[in-house]
Amino acid sequence: MNALAQLVEFENAVQVLPFGHTRPSISIIGLGYVGAVSTACLAGLGHHVIGCDLDVTKTTQIAAGRSPIHEEGLEYLLRKGVARNLISTTTNVADAVANTDVTFVSVGTPTSEDGGCDCRSIVSAASAIGEGLRRKDSYHLVVMRCSVPPATTLNVMVPEIEAVSGLTMGEDFGICFNPEFLREGTAIADFDAPPKTVIGANDMRAAETLKEVYAPVDPDPLITSIEVAETVKYVDNVWHATKVCFANEIGRICKPLSIDSHAVMDIFVKDTKLNLSPYYLKPGFAYGGSCLPKEVRAVDHLASSLGVETPLISSLSKTNRIQIDEATKLIRDTGARKIGFLGLAFKAGTDDLRESPILEVMNTLIEEGFDIAAYDPAIQADTRVTEQFNYVRHVCPHLEPTVCALPELLRENLHQVFDECEVVVTTQRTREIQTLVASQLGRTQVVDLVHLFSEKPQFEGYQGIGW
């Protein structure tokens, strides 16, 4: 079935959805790629849509059912929406807001001169929204769709709307941040089958209103705070860019070796347990162990021996070192002198200490004169620590004094470490450590490197490394 046929089938399916009441009318500010597609697709869902733009060419084209951009299926939907009297346009944003229930904001947010985000269009759109809201006496929902730095919606947009309208967010009008994930070229198909729908809101009325709008295409949106939703959009795109650059660096390494980079990556992407999965993708402590540091160095070395530049892969060791230094700083900043480490191996369930990043932290603190105690259930007095160290001695010779001192630093159980120390550092996420740390919160300071608890404990003495 071609894309147009799919579109018609989808549209027909949507029309028979059993809505119990009228769909809210929607104004869309900014009729660029996002706004034009939203106008067409929301009309396709049966909403009355007023598209607004300062650019009269765009408003005229859309009002005539013509697409201002090249996008498969867009003109068809716009033409249908106009023919069904569901789409109209205006250059008067305030009028459009005053005459609708919900406003989507999709103005441009280009790069500013200093490399940040140019929010001028957002402020001018917010001001026009404020003007429109001043003329309304019913609840209105404003839905921010632009990609913006975290806190822009609440700190830039809302104050402008409130100042101009004299109204209060959360009472007179609601705010959602709803990131747009469409890909140009497949925008209509992405609207109909989104990779996810994220609704950032700080009150349920706002969230529920928007949830209902999206129900026909995604009945199960992810509801979160406005700041998380704003950040997700940036993080997604940085991740996509990371993937592109990573794959391209692999290609640059493979070509001079006459290795088929696509054969490599075809197998790479088939691994959805470790490669394309949540694994390794949560903020926490540095990577370590006997494989990752060694192989990152080896690939970096391979690339430079081939004369190939791979700045992404080459920067991994540096960013990993920064995480180790960050952990050391967090511990130092507690002001404690007696430090306890819960977990020594690079992960739980192994006695492999080779290039365990916590040894780097311990080593620095020992050199600075801190008192150290440690416990790891897998590491006992008879663990062959020296043998392990010999394997990595040439890459971390500075760790030798700490490795030699380990037998004296080891304690027999977690309780001994807690009894002796002013701060405990968690490096492994085990049930035993979770339970004991939870029972000691408020009594002993904690530097948590592994996100022990799904909710951040609200105790002054608790610090997470990235949360």
Point out which span in 101-109, 150-158, 279-287, 288-296 binds ligand NAD (CB under 6 A).
Answer: 101-109
Helix (H, G, I), strand (E, B) or coil at 117: strand
Interface with ligand NAD (CB under 6 A), residue from 184, 203, 295, 412:
184
230 is a contact residue toward ligand NAD (CB under 6 A)? no
- Helix pair 74-83, 3-15: axis angle to 10 deg: 30
Minimum CB distance to ligand NAD, residue 123 (Å)? 8
Helix (H, G, I), strand (E, B) or coil at 251: helix
Interface with ligand NAD (CB under 6 A), residue from 6, 14, 23, 32:
32
Q: Supply 239's token pair.
A: 């991740």
Give dist(CA 148, CA 231) in Å, integer: 8
Provide the residue type at 164 as one letter: V
DSSP-derived secondary structure for 351-408: ---TT-HHHHHHHHHHHTT-EEEEE-TT--TTS-HHHHHHHHTTT-GGGHHHHHHHHH
Interface with ligand NAD (CB under 6 A), residue from 10, 39, 49, 53:
53
Give dist(CA 440, CA 127) in Å, integer: 51
107 is a contact residue toward ligand NAD (CB under 6 A)? yes
30 is a contact residue toward ligand NAD (CB under 6 A)? yes
Minimum CB distance to ligand NAD, residue 125 (Å)? 4
Residues 67-96 touching ligand NAD, rule: CB under 6 A, are: 93
27 is a contact residue toward ligand NAD (CB under 6 A)? no
Q: Supply 399's token pair.
A: 């760790």
Q: 3 or 291, CB closer to ligand NAD?
A: 3
Minimum CB distance to ligand NAD, residue 145 (Å)? 6
Radius of gyration for the alpha carbons in the chain, expressed in angstroms and rounded = 28
146 is a contact residue toward ligand NAD (CB under 6 A)? yes
Minimum CB distance to ligand NAD, residue 23 (Å)? 23
145 is a contact residue toward ligand NAD (CB under 6 A)? yes
34 is a contact residue toward ligand NAD (CB under 6 A)? yes
Q: Report which of 300, 389, 312, 308 is spatially closest to residue 344, judged by C-alpha positions.
A: 389
Q: Report which of 9, 101, 97, 86 is spatially closest to residue 44, judged by C-alpha positions.
A: 86
229 is a contact residue toward ligand NAD (CB under 6 A)? no
Q: Supply 280's token pair.
A: 């390794």
Annotated catalytic residues are: 291
Task: List contacts with ligand NAD (CB under 6 A).
Answer: 29-35, 52-55, 58, 93, 106-109, 121, 124-125, 145-147, 180, 182, 184
